[in-house]
């Protein structure tokens, strides 16, 4: 590992938005062989927001981006780049990052999508920090947004209970001399051997869209829930250990853990492993479910709005997801 002098970059504004449509456990009870009690006990989720089929992901992402930029006190002209983490872009080509750049009027900021599933925003934050370190920007918009309802099989109780739609955005800017905040440590990892635990079999270049793909519902996510659960606890534990080690501080120094909002039991197991009490863990999955790359920026925005996340706090972000991918960041807010 190369030694670099940190902090290079800090988050100066956060924003989030979700589509209006809501899907409660009570509604899922009507269409699936499940119960509110089972979903709440096994996952902690009570409700998710679901976009209309004709509602673009960009429409709610724009609200999140504007909110983050307003809080950071920057305009579109100040943006040098946009990193957009998503697995559900509105269309295949060009990137949704370019659509967002145009909608914001942020020309000629560079813009690209990043596919890393649920740790997408953690990956994007790390990539943006690296680009800042190499002189590719002073102010970068880091977005995580999903319309997972488009790849979720509403008839599959294994996945339909978990996922929701949403968007989160953060403005990352270069730390100024004398400022005592910003990213202190990052850690990313992946294990492609575990790809088939959570994947979409059809509709890609290797198995292009056909009537058969649609009929067999191969364009929807398939998940081996129990196996993902086990791999998730390991990945979250490893991520927290490594981020804490790289930050060179004991677990007691972490004031707030903002984990990927997938399942309350995974979060509890990971927090216990890291030696962080649940009183220092921010959770909002009861209201939004798992929104993949939007989950951490959505939680950060809400933690800030609720006064839980305060300036000066040492915050750890930790996430895992399809790939298998995982990652963590420690920062001083
Ligand atoms: O960002 C990454 C995304 N993915 C995840 O984070 C998913 C991680 N995995 C999980 O969150 C959990 O594995 C699930 C919530 C998906 C499932 O919970 P579980 O405690 O692992 O349940 P299970 O799969 O071990 O199933 C236990 C029982 C089974 O019945 P039997 O065989 O014991 O009779 C399932 O058929 O629960 C049944 N079951 C359900 N029952 C009611 C599975 N799904 C449901 C359901 N409602 N929705």
* Residue 49 is among the residues annotated as catalytic for this protein: no
pLDDT average, residue stretch 166-172: 98
Q: State the pLDDT confidence band at 236, using cuts at 50, 70 and 90.
A: very high
pLDDT of 115 > 90? The answer is yes
Q: State the pLDDT confidence band at 3, using cuts at 50, 70 and 90.
A: low
Query: Is 265 a pocket residue for ligand 1 (Cβ < 6 Å)?
Result: no
Instruction: Calculate how far, in angstroms, residue 43's C-alpha sits from the geometric centre of ligand 1.
Output: 9
Over residues 52-106, the pLDDT tens digits come to: 999 999 999 999 999 999 999 999 999 999 999 999 999 999 999 999 999 999 9
Q: How many residues belong to the chain? A: 333
pLDDT of residue 89: 97
pLDDT above 90 as % of the chain:
98
166-178 residues labelled b (16+ CB within 10 A) or e (exposed)? bbbbbbbbbbeee
Question: CA-to-CA distance for 11 and 317, rounded, in angstroms?
Answer: 13
Over residues 287-317, the pLDDT tens digits come to: 999 999 999 999 999 999 999 999 999 999 9
pLDDT of 213 > 80? The answer is yes
What distance lies between CA 281 and its chain's CA centroid? 16
Whether the domain at 9-174 and the domain at 182-332 fall into the same CATH topology: yes
pLDDT of residue 2: 65
- Tokens 């999903």 sit at which residue? 146
Instruction: Calculate how far, in angstroms, residue 323's C-alpha sits from the geometric centre of ligand 1.
Output: 20
pLDDT average, residue stretch 8-20: 98
Contact by Cβ (8 Å): 143, 99: no
pLDDT average, residue stretch 15-39: 97
Q: What is the CATH number of domain 9-174?
A: 3.40.47.10
Q: State the pLDDT confidence band at 5, using cuts at 50, 70 and 90.
A: confident
pLDDT of 156 > 70? The answer is yes
Contact by Cβ (8 Å): 172, 294: no
Q: pTM higher than 0.85, yes or no?
A: yes
pLDDT of residue 1: 62
Q: What is the CATH number of domain 182-332?
A: 3.40.47.10
Give the residue extent of every domain in the chain: 9-174, 182-332
Q: What is the overall mean pLDDT for the chain? A: 96
Please list, in sequence order, all residues whose beta carbon lies within 8 angstroms of the beta carbon of residue 166, skipping any fewer than 6 positions away: 16, 17, 18, 19, 49, 60, 145, 146, 288, 291, 294, 295, 298
Phi, psi of 12 (to 5 degrees): -115, -5
Query: Is 246 a pocket residue for ligand 1 (Cβ < 6 Å)?
Result: no
Sheet holding 81-85, edge to edge: 9-17, 165-174, 139-147, 81-85, 110-114
pLDDT of residue 291: 98
pLDDT of 260 > 90? The answer is yes
pLDDT average, residue stretch 265-292: 96
Listed as own residue / partner, the contacts of 45-48 with beta carbons closer than 8 Å and 24 or more positions apart are 45/161, 45/162, 45/263, 45/264, 45/285, 45/286, 45/289, 45/290, 46/286, 46/287, 47/22, 47/23, 47/286, 47/287, 47/288, 47/289, 48/22, 48/23, 48/163, 48/164, 48/165, 48/288, 48/289, 48/291
Query: Is 40 a pocket residue for ligand 1 (Cβ < 6 Å)?
Result: no
Kindly give the number of the ligand 1 atom that is closest to the alpha carbon of 260: 1
Please list, in sequence order, all residues whose beta carbon lies within 8 angstroms of the beta carbon of residue 214, skipping any fewer than 6 positions away: none
pLDDT of residue 132: 97
Query: Is 161 a pocket residue for ligand 1 (Cβ < 6 Å)?
Result: yes
């Amino acid at each position: 590992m190369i030694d670099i002098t940190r902090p290079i970059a800090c988050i100066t504004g956060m924003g989030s938005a979700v589509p209006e449509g809501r899907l409660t456990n009570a509604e899922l009870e009507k269409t699936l062989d499940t119960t509110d009690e089972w979903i709440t006990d096994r996952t902690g989720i009570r409700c998710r927001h679901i976009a209309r089929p004709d509602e673009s992901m960009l429409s709610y992402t724009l609200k999140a981006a504007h909110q983050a930029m307003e809080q950071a006190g920057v305009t579109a002209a100040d943006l040098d780049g946009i990193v957009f983490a998503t697995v559900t872009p509105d269309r295949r080509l060009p990137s949704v990052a370019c659509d967002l750049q145009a909608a914001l009027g942020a020309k000629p900021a560079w813009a690209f999508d990043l596919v890393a599933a649920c740790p997408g925003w953690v990956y994007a934050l790390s990539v943006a920090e690296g680009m800042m370190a190499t002189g590719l920007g002073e102010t970068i918009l880091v977005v995580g947004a999903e319309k997972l309802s488009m790849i979720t099989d509403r008839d599959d109780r294994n996945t339909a209970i978990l996922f929701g739609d949403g968007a989160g955005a953060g403005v990352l800017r270069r730390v100024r001399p004398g400022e005592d905040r910003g990213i202190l440590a990052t850690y990313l990892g992946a294990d492609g051997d575990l790809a088939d635990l959570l994947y979409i079999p059809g509709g890609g270049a290797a198995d292009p869209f056909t009537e058969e793909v649609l009929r067999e519902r191969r364009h929807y996510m398939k998940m081996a829930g129990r196996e993902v659960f086990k791999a998730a606890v390991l990945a979250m534990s490893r991520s927290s250990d490594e981020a804490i080690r790289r930050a060179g501080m004991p677990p007691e120094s972490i004031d707030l853990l903002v984990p990927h909002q997938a399942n309350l039991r995974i979060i509890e197991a990971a927090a216990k492993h890291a030696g962080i009490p649940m009183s220092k863990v921010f959770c909002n999955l009861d209201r939004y479910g798992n929104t993949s790359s939007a989950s951490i920026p959505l939680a950060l925005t809400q933690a800030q709005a609720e006064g839980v996340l305060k300036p000066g706090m040492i915050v750890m972000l930790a996430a895992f997801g399809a790939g298998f991918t995982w990652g963590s960041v420690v920062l001083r807010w």
